[in-house]
Amino acid sequence: MAPPCGGILKAAMALSGAQTAGEMGPSSRGGSGSSAGKNPGARPVEKTFYIETFGCQMNAHDSEKVIGTLEHQGYRQVQSEMEANLILYNTCSIRDKAEQKVFHRLNDFKKYYAAGKRFAVLGCVAQQEGERIFERAPYVSIVSGSASYRKLPEMLRRLEAGERHITGLDDRQTEETFETEFTRRSNPHRGYITIIEGCDKFCAYCVVPYTRGKERSRTGSSVVGEARRMAASGYTEVQLLGQNVNSYRDPEGKLSFAELLGAIGELDGIRRVRFTTSHPRDFTRDIVEVIDRVETLCDHVHLPVQSGSSRMLQAMQREYTMESYLERIAWIKSARRPISITTDIIVGFPGETETDFGQTLDLLQRVQYDAVFAFKYSPRPNTPALAMPDSIDDEEKSRRLQRLLEKQREIQRTNYANHIGQVMEVAVEGFNTQRGQVIGRSSQNKTVNFSARQAIFPAPGSYLPVQITNSFPNSLVGEAVQ
């Protein structure tokens, strides 16, 4: 599947205030104040950083952990690259031309090197391109894939000691996960927890197994412990993350994925638990059963299908057929709770005929998804699909994508309209002050814009019953119920 996404995001994650940029190097070693002993008159150079994050929720959460790690090493986050003396790019390579975009962006910052700024390229493009990044952009100091983030403190120490090129490029050998108690979450109510890193599936089109390493699960006790600490500090919603959460294996052998979901859902203070992404081959019936049993588990399963044609699924090396996928859909639809189903689809995979594509359209009709994240196939480096002739031209891919999105839009128009008249619990996320509306999200992960019959907007993180009065293909409209 595409990495857990719900849409690609570009998040410039910078929280705190401005700070003078300073030279990275021996003078700044040891954090703020460390050089005072050497020169009592000198003002210590503060270590500041700016980070930009591209890609999926896994990357967004990795950046939260990287930020916490940097802060623990004495760095302070600033709002722009101009103010920072260390600039980090957490990159994504899931889409076409990602590498070129990264090099193009790095080129913008070449001029800052002489001023003492240093650069780190993190994430999937870093792992994929490796030391070639130093060849094309010699002013980059750190190149690190996500499987090496646990070594960040050591890499930072080497950077501060003046080392020019530092690599963290663990391939599929590592067994370790990146766990830190210093995660700096950007939202005070909803937070991610990674439960499994890497992927062993090797779908024909996907770079993830090569960039994120092999599957490594965290222990159930460490995941539950982190969720408990989050609940104690005010978090009410957690989202469990992994490239394939369904292949979670507790290294202590205590909890299956479904049991882990149940254990977190039963923690005091937790009101909502989500998880992403699932793989149809590993999706088991007990996941539906635990959603039925534990009220805090959300009414939503994202089950990426990629194609409605078993022939295409085989070419994609997805390890399931349409029949077995539909069996899982039947489990979900037979739940007592109204579980919303969403999916990912690739159009124009090499060899996809009009008949194969027609089967994908038929699947939309059959499942009645609440959302579809659809993309045109684009060849990615190092993947088996790269050797397959990319036989469908871009115009035809665009036409298929358009047809698919139009069909899905009509399905969603009906699905969303079916909620009119219902009262649902909505978690408040923000406000649209111009429209005087509160923006929130339902358990099914649907956006709900509603008016609150009170002078003051309800606080983000609160939960309100909302009566649905209108709908669009991607959102609901309602009024808070007293």
57-72 helix and 152-160 helix, angle to the nearest 10 degrees: 50
Q: How far apart are CA 388 and CA 166, in angstroms?
A: 35
Nearer to ligand SF4, 206 or 291 (CB): 206
Q: How far is the CB of 304 from ligand SF4 (least distance, A)?
A: 7
Nearest to 52 by CA among 10, 94, 85: 10
Q: How far is the CB of 83 from ligand SF4 (least distance, A)?
A: 35
Nearer to ligand SF4, 173 or 482 (CB): 173
Q: How far is the CB of 241 from ligand SF4 (least distance, A)?
A: 12
Nearer to ligand SF4, 19 or 278 (CB): 278
Which residues are at the interface with ligand SF4 (CB under 6 A)? 1, 3, 199, 201-203, 206, 208-209, 243-244, 279
Cis peptide before 20 (omega within 30 of 0): no
Answer positive or negative: Cα dihedral of 214, 219, 220, 225. negative
What are the residue ranges of helices labelled H in 368-482?
394-417
Nearer to ligand SF4, 195 or 428 (CB): 195
Which residues have C-beta within 8 Å of that of residue 42, sequence separation ≥ 6?
Answer: 35, 36
Which residues have C-beta within 8 Å of that of residue 254, sequence separation ≥ 6?
Answer: 219, 220, 221
**What is the β-pairing status of strands 423-432 and 463-471?**
antiparallel
**Tokens representing residue 233 in the block:** 């500090």
Q: How far is the CB of 149 from ligand SF4 (least distance, A)?
A: 18
Q: How far apart are CA 478 and CA 312, in angstroms?
A: 41
Chain centre to alpha carbon of residue 127: 17
Q: How far is the CB of 277 from ligand SF4 (least distance, A)?
A: 7
Nearer to ligand SF4, 33 or 202 (CB): 202
Nearer to ligand SF4, 271 or 274 (CB): 274
Q: How far is the CB of 345 from ligand SF4 (least distance, A)?
A: 12
